Structure 1
């Protein structure tokens, strides 16, 4: 589980950087599809935790798969000025569902919040332009 945690932390930090956001959200044919395919590939990570670590918990795995795919599609097709609030809504929904309807052992309670943070908030939300400001 330590390796999974380190992988998630590395993914959060990497996907949250401006350079990663510029790369994944560049104006290129198929860029939206590539972002959604990246999220889809993460289903293997989700399945590994649900099926191997949680002993084959199909309800947890399928529930989180549905949450991830539905939130990713909503964020992916939302206008750019609404992507951040849409991602936050999906992240909040996933957090609540995982707290109350898809519980896991306390030692794994960190997984779903970090997983959804990485994908919904860090990966699918584009870079916001930095404003020029003067520090006084």
Structure 2
């Protein structure tokens, strides 16, 4: 398996690769600029840039037809999808290196993503899409209005939720 197969999906088209890496690099550059402006440490800037690369790129990549085919291929179960969501520990990385990004905020964002994923994966097929959008809307509202998130990473919760609940968990064809 090539690096592109791992980062995008097997048999990704040139357009999907360009869109995924384009979003990843542009998002990383934007986040790096925000980190410099926020006077983060070199470690904080590096982590924020790396997380942005993953979130911006992942939000686009997980929405591609190639990634949908790969992640929703025969044999993939709700546990595979929940596991994919669960390994996204980036909120805790940010809590380690971004002043003002509390452990409570990290745990809340992580919990919202996991709870949303659980709702989506256990819902009847015909309700997964609307439930994913509802869970995302609710989680975004909680993150934006009830948590104090430093400006430098204000983009993080929305992108994590889009990447995981809307792009990753929903198959391209609603009948899958």
* TM-score over 0.5 for the pair: yes
CA distance in 2, matches of 1:62, 1:3: 20
CA distance in 1, matches of 2:157, 2:90: 11
Contact 2:100 2:149 (8 Å CA) reproduced: no
Partner of 1:10: 57
Instruction: Tell me if 1:71 matches 2:151.
Output: no
Q: Which ranges of 4 or more aligned residues in structure 1 deviate by more than 3 Å?
A: none
Cα displacement (A) at 1:119 = 0.4
Query: Which among 82, 85, 101 is matched to residue 36 of structure 1?
Result: 82
CA distance in 1, matches of 2:156, 2:140: 10
Query: Counterparts in 2 of 1:111-122, with a 5 A limit?
Result: 111-122=156-167
Query: Counterparts in 2 of 1:13-24, with a 5 A limit?
Result: 13-24=60-71
Contact 2:68 2:168 (8 Å CA) reproduced: yes
Contact 2:100 2:150 (8 Å CA) reproduced: no
Cα displacement (A) at 1:46 = 1.8
Report the TM-score, using the length of structure 1 for normalisation.
0.85
Query: Counterparts in 2 of 1:94-109, with a 5 A limit?
Result: 94-109=139-154
Q: Which has the higher contact order (CA 8 A, sep 6+)?
A: 1
Contact 2:101 2:150 (8 Å CA) reproduced: no
Cα displacement (A) at 1:116 = 0.6
Instruction: Tell me if 1:26 matches 2:73.
Output: yes
Partner of 1:48: 93
Unaligned runs of 5+ in 1: 130-136
Root-mean-square deviation over aligned CA pairs:
1.7
Cα displacement (A) at 1:99 = 1.1
Contact 1:14 1:20 (8 Å CA) reproduced: yes
